[in-house]
Amino acid sequence: MGAIIETNNLRAYYITKAYGVERTVKAVDDITLRIQEGEVYGIAGESGCGKSTLLRILLGAYQPPLTVVGGEVIYHLDGEEMNAADMTEEQQRDLKWRTISYIPQGSMHVLNPVRRIRDTFHDFISAHRDVTKKESFQLTAEYLRDLGLPEKVMASYPHQLSGGMRQRVTIALATILWPKLIFADEPTTALDVVVQRGVIQMLKDVQQKEGSTLVLITHDIGVHANLADRIGILYAGKLVEESDTGTILENPRHPYTRFLIESLPSLDSREERLAIPGRPPALDRPPSGCRFHERCPLAKEICKTVEPQLIEIEPKHFTACHVVEEELNRVAV
């Protein structure tokens, strides 16, 4: 299977101008991704690293001040190759929900508070399919039953549902038309652990039923470990490491990834977890050289000046770090 969506040297900046103050926030800087059809691709990183911005660009749902200043996004859908920049608004709209869909962060605010769940479903379905209200109610009822959700939620208002149920309903709402490509932004954040499990299981079910591609964004490596086939690690708007989930968890190479993995709690060890020193940099004035060098215990002189390139250190395992690169060269020599 080939790629379903790819980006080439994508750069997307927030360019704002208010009361004479101009700022450019380089939220996505030179990112190249190739997401395969049918896989679950995880994007991880601290908050503020640009993952939500990347998602917005991939989804084609952005407006100024967020601007794509370089690179491209290419969809491979229905055997056709489409450059996002060349698509008309009409084409974009046609793709939404039927082919590309989006599961937002689990929150109070995604469902219209004054509309019953079934009416919201009807609004979303009828926007893309020629259905009567009755037909979409039926479709919704069937789908909810498939996913194991109680049918009575249909007549409820959002505030009458628990947080976990709301998130499940949102996932159902996003996937009701069996999209090929699903983006999920922190789908389990803000839910408690027990509920998280249920939601993760549901995401798995939805993805596997039709073999859809799922792009999963979360800071929670635990969720990635559960769901993702491959993981890309984002730091300060840059992709710093990418490999299959097993490799990332067992053998992370980039110092930042190592921190991320080591900060995970584990059941069989009681030693104190390491926290990453310092804070993520402000993206309107990113550090020179390697953007991680200020927080990196291994940083060398070169890291402060020269930007490391993403290289394949072993098959299908990419990382962008001078230290790793040097080690590799030493071994090779």
Partner 1 sequence: MFTTIRDLIKFSPSFRFGSLILLAVAVMIALSFLSPYEAGKLRRKVKRNQPPSATFVFGTTSQGEDVFWSTTFAIRNTLTISLIAVAIGRGIGVMLGMLSGYFGGIFDRVAQSAVESFIVIPRLPLVILIASILRGSMTMYSLGILIGLFDWAHPSKRYRSQVLSLRERDFTHTAVFSGMSTVRIVIREHLPFIIPYMLADVISGFLFSIGFEVTLSYLGLADLDSPTVGTMIYWATYYQSVFAGRAWVIIVPIVTVVLMVLGFYLMSVGLGEYLDPRKRLVRLSADAGDEAADDDPRKDKDDAWAP
Partner 2 sequence: MNLLRTYILPRILQWALVIFVGISATFLIPRLSPRNPVDEMIGRMTAFASIDPHAVVSMRESATALFGLDGTLLEQYGRFWGRLLQGDLGVSFGNFPRKVSDIIAAGLPWSVGLLTTTIIISWTIGVFLGALAGYFHDRRWSQFLERFVVVVYPVPYLITALVLFIIFGAWLQIFPIMGGSRGEPALTWKYISTVLYFGFLPALSVIIGAIAFRFIMAKALTTTEIANDYVQYAELAAVPKRKIILFYVARNTMLPQVTDLALAFGAIFEGALITEILFAYPGLGFVLYNAIYNADYNIIMGIALLSIVGVATAMLIIDLLYPVLDPRVRLR
Q: Does 52 bind partner 1 (CB under 8 A)?
A: yes
Structure tokens at 81: 């190759």
Nearer to partner 2, 120 or 243 (CB): 120
Structure-token pair, residue 182: 């699903």
249 binds, among partner 2, partner 1, none (CB under 5 to 8 A by kind): none
Q: Is the peptide bond before 315 cis (omega within 30 degrees of 0)?
A: no
Q: Which does 53 bind (CB under 5 to 8 A by kind): partner 2, partner 1, none?
A: partner 1
Task: Select the binding partner of residue 157 from partner 2, partner 1, none (C-beta < 5 to 8 A, by kind).
Answer: partner 2
Could you say which of partner 2, partner 1, none residue 61 binds, taking C-beta under 5 to 8 angstroms by partner kind?
partner 2
The residue with tokens 């060269």 is 329
The binder of 8, among partner 2, partner 1, none, by C-beta within 5 to 8 A per type, is none
Residues 274-303 binding partner 1 (CB under 8 A) are 282-284
Which candidate, 99, 91, 58, 80, places its Cα nearest to that of 2?
Answer: 80
Chosen from partner 2, partner 1, none, partner binding at 110 (C-beta under 5 to 8 Å by type): partner 2
Two structure tokens written together for 147: 């996913």
Choosing from 77, 110, 147, 302, the residue that interacts with partner 2 (CB under 8 A) is 110
Contacts (CB under 8 A) with partner 1, residues 85-114: 109
Please state, in angstroms and as integers, the Cα–Cα distance from residue 242 to each residue in 253, 317, 320, following that order. Answer: 10, 6, 9
Figure out which of the listed residues 76, 107, 147, 317 binds partner 2, where binding follows CB under 8 A.
Answer: 107
Q: Closer to partner 2 by CB, 95 or 310: give it.
A: 95
Alpha carbon separation from 79 to 152, 175, 249 (Å, rounded): 40, 21, 34
User: 16 or 36: whose CB is closer to partner 1?
Assistant: 16
Q: Does 160 bind partner 2 (CB under 8 A)?
A: yes
3-state SS assignment for residue 73:
strand
Q: Which of 1, 18, 21, 114 binds partner 2 (CB under 8 A)?
A: 114
With DSSP H G I counted as helix, E B as strand and the rest as coil, what are the percentages for the chain, rounded to 5?
35, 25, 40
As a whole number of angstroms, the distance between CA 256 and CA 75 comes to 30
Structure token digits, residue 197: 């499990």
- Using CB under 8 A as the binding rule, whether residue 49 contacts partner 1 is answered as yes
End-to-end alpha-carbon separation of the chain, Å? 36
Segment (H or E) for 239: strand 238-244
Burial class (CB in 10 A: 0-12, 13-18, 19+), 24: middle
Q: Binding residue for partner 1 (CB under 8 A) from 1, 19, 114, 330?
A: 19
Binding residues among 258-287 for partner 2 as defined by CB under 8 A: none
Binds 27: which of partner 2, partner 1, none (CB < 5-8 Å by kind): partner 1
Question: Is residue 100 within 8 Å of 183, Cβ to Cβ?
Answer: yes
Kindly list the residues in this chain that would bind partner 2 in the complex (CB under 8 A).
59, 61, 93, 96-97, 102, 104, 107, 109-115, 119, 123-124, 127-128, 157, 159-160
Name the residues that contact partner 1, by CB under 8 A: 14, 16, 18-21, 23, 25, 27, 47-53, 65, 109, 282-284
